[in-house]
Structure 1
């Protein structure tokens, strides 16, 4: 793939990355809009914290995690750009349908549909970036793509707050859903696949029966996947519930919450994601263990700074303290996704990414939002409106577990790295 990548024009390569970033922004915009709308949705539909946590996490994660692997395999064997286009259309359509929900099960099923669509977006995008960008630039390219997370989270928070305050929470879902459907055909017209397998003079595309055994033998894959999963347990839980913590514990209204959260996610998140990719390219090229060391160090700092920011009652101090972990908690995206891409040959990349994302999301999305909501419900009798704040703080211990696993993964990474000049 290296020769093909070198032959790809830099201008077009940048355009492909920009389009992938736009689609990924919609991916997380559709997710985060649910978090900022938690209070009006719960009031309108009469949901408990645990029920809303299930809608925000479990409903999304069930098919999102499971379908990620077969859709990634489909992308490896057919067209990555077509799979991404179809995924964007499906998840945007179900996002719009969320605006018509009349109860828990309606909203649960519509979020299930959003998860089905988003299952086909990320792994093929990782693989497409790896096709277009050489190894020495890959972590930065993946980090730029991953900027869709903080940008999407920030836009989802701000747009959701303003639209819900001006009109209605249902209109917020309809607006972002329709916008995603409009973007889908434009993406397909712009983004083309890089030839792979026999058509590119390389090996035939690998069946899934070859990809899984190769990954299963690599200790670094399992350790990185579970480490990222425990980190995402906290990250997805906090993304869904922090707006509610601000409203309950700090007395914010919807607009103030959107502004507070949006600024944290946009400033801290973009800095953290880009820094992760930049440092990974600088340090990881010489020693592959840095792809694991960087996120481990970041998570060790994330846990106490998040706890301090959620505990203080001084708003300016809370903003400063929360800015740090909002950057460090997602610093792992560039380094770890690059490492996973380089545990297998190029024709296995999307399937390898899908396998990694399945583990990460089953733990992170499937458990995190529901766990924080369930713990909050359990603490309400003792702590009242502060129960959600203490539930969030208690779950931060999973960042420390993630750091330990990632430090262990670093021990195996150099030996298990797949080199692009390998036969």
Structure 2
């Protein structure tokens, strides 16, 4: 195991050293998450050339990146979580990476909407096995008090994946074709899938949460874990608040490039450089900062798990409205830096809260349930809604239908802030009860 055991027999703490194997595991799992999100985002990054080649509408694009993808991604995550809680989690991640990478290659070979839809659903099927087991593996490699930062680093996968997808996907598409971008990135994923079992060892479940020499935790029952998760108001509200937030992040993320190209005048080469930098620095900086802030402020109060996302989303709203309004793409891109940095504080907060609040043998399933709720709401509704709204507005406003559709996401910010404030109230109440019990 990677962490040095504590001689006193107590569970390791935030001061316990973290060994090299933990960082190797985190690094490789992070890279797999990069590929996970890169493959997922290619469709939105290359939306315009795909539309031109396959003659599909904004509404169909929304279904491909939204409901069709989310249905498989969310619901397959539950049996995958059950399997990973009972088998080798590293093997599950490796197999999942191989499936979604092969399906990504199939996207590049698609000749019509039906073939592309089937390939995208298979990508969702494979990606469902990547994140929940990885959350638990990272948690079992890092001691309490170090997990916010570790999960914050892991959750840098989406911004780096999105940025690399923008940079390399747009560059390959500009130099060759959008099909080559899907095939090339799928090949990289297959290579990583084969290498993973040789580089990452399965850590003992709950080994850093129990006294040295204590027996390993028993396997948690499937339905018992489901009942536990949905009977805990804080866990359900964290998942629901995150899902509402993801309506914004996925709704915007799936159409931002198309919006900037079609209505603001960007080219693929502009996207490959400038939009990639905004996503890498903005989203990456926001997720990393949120992990650091979580570790710092949750030592004082658990309410920070909810207050940090609430404050960040409230600050993001005026920047988002200004981005949608901006008359030129350079100004729009500069304003987009605000929401890109601030929109993702919820992710590390909710993941760390759920992983800390459940038993070690329930972590994979609980992570899968968190993803089920928040992704089915956010991923399922966000892109599907924005695409349908754009098609609706296009009849009367063909030149700025996406702008009008994106404006309609502004009330969702208010709803998300209110839900996180409600969660902060519940967490404060739980903390008070725990103090009274002592």
TM-score bracket relative to the smaller structure? over 0.9
Alignment of 1:55-204 (within 5 A): 55-196=64-205, 201-204=215-218
CA displacement, residues 84-129 of structure 1 (integer Å, 9 cap, x when unaligned): 0011000001000001111111100100000000001111111111
CA displacement, residues 190-217 of structure 1 (integer Å, 9 cap, x when unaligned): 1111123799713311011211121122
2: distance between equivalents of 1:409 and 1:5?
A: 26
Describe the SS at the equivalent of 2:265. Answer: coil
Q: Which one of 296, 303, 307 corresponds to residue 293 of structure 1? A: 307
2: distance between equivalents of 1:76 and 1:58?
A: 27
5+ residue gaps in structure 2? Answer: 1-9, 208-212
CA contact (8 A) 2:140 2:206 kept: no
Q: Residues 75 and 354 (structure 1 numbering): CA distance in 2 closer, same or farther, change over 3 Å? A: same
Determine the structure 2 residue equivalent to 1:380: 394
Q: Residues 388 and 96 (structure 1 numbering): CA distance in 2 closer, same or farther, change over 3 Å? A: same
How far is the alpha carbon of 1:70 from its aligned partner? 1.3
Determine the structure 2 residue equivalent to 1:240: 254
CA contact (8 A) 1:243 1:257 kept: yes
Are 1:330 and 2:348 counterparts? no
Larger helix share, 1 or 2: 1
Q: Which one of 355, 362, 378 corresponds to residue 376 of structure 2? A: 362
Q: Which one of 276, 281, 285 corresponds to residue 271 of structure 1? A: 285
Describe the SS at the equivalent of 2:266. Answer: coil
Give TM-score scaled by structure 2 length. 0.92
Determine the structure 1 residue equivalent to 2:366: 352
Describe the SS at the equivalent of 1:385. Answer: coil
Q: Which one of 394, 413, 416 corresponds to residue 427 of structure 2? A: 413
Give TM-score scaled by structure 1 length. 0.95
CA contact (8 A) 1:197 1:204 kept: no
CA displacement, residues 346-396 of structure 1 (integer Å, 9 cap, x when unaligned): 110010010010011111111111110100010012221211011012113
Runs of 4+ more than 4 Å apart? 3-9, 197-200, 414-419
How far is the alpha carbon of 1:258 from its aligned partner? 2.6
Q: Residues 33 and 412 (structure 1 numbering): CA distance in 2 closer, same or farther, change over 3 Å? A: same
1: distance between equivalents of 2:297 and 2:16?
A: 26
CA contact (8 A) 1:61 1:366 kept: yes
2: distance between equivalents of 1:313 and 1:166?
A: 29
How far is the alpha carbon of 1:21 from its aligned partner? 0.7
Determine the structure 2 residue equivalent to 1:34: 43
Determine the structure 1 residue equivalent to 2:357: 343
Determine the structure 2 residue equivalent to 1:402: 416
Q: Residues 60 and 200 (structure 1 numbering): CA distance in 2 closer, same or farther, change over 3 Å? A: farther
CA contact (8 A) 2:13 2:145 kept: no
Q: Which moved more, 1:122-131 or 1:296-305?
A: 296-305
Determine the structure 2 residue equivalent to 1:24: 33
Q: Which moved more, 1:298-307 or 1:407-416?
A: 407-416
Root mean square deviation of aligned Cα:
2.1
2: distance between equivalents of 1:95 and 1:287?
A: 43
2: distance between equivalents of 1:365 and 1:296?
A: 20
CA contact (8 A) 1:53 1:370 kept: yes
Describe the SS at the equivalent of 2:174. Answer: helix
Q: Residues 111 and 315 (structure 1 numbering): CA distance in 2 closer, same or farther, change over 3 Å? A: closer
How far is the alpha carbon of 1:315 from its aligned partner? 4.1
CA contact (8 A) 2:313 2:342 kept: yes
